Amino acid sequence: KYEDFPALTRLVKELYLIIEEKEMTFTKFTRFEIMEI
């Protein structure tokens, strides 16, 4: 059962990276919108 742990960790890391990327994109977009005004 412990053998599943690395795969789970990798999945969590990938999920975290996707969320981080989306948040960064959103922040950049918001910053751009503010600059436009």
Tell me the pTM.
0.51
> Is the sign of the CA dihedral 21, 26, 31, 36 positive or negative?
positive
Which pLDDT score, from 0 to 100, does residue 14 have?
Answer: 92
Residue 12 CA to residue 23 CA, distance in Å, equals 16
pLDDT per residue of the chain (37 residues) written in tens, 0 to 9 = 567 788 888 999 999 998 888 888 777 777 777 666 5
pLDDT at position 21 is 86
Dihedral, CA atoms, 21, 25, 28, 32, nearest 10 degrees?
A: 170
DSSP characters for the chain?
-GGGHHHHHHHHHHHHHHHHHHHHHHHHHHHHHHHH-
How many other CB atoms are found less than 10 A from the CB of residue 22? 10
Per-residue pLDDT, 13: 92
Tell me, what's the pLDDT at 19? 87
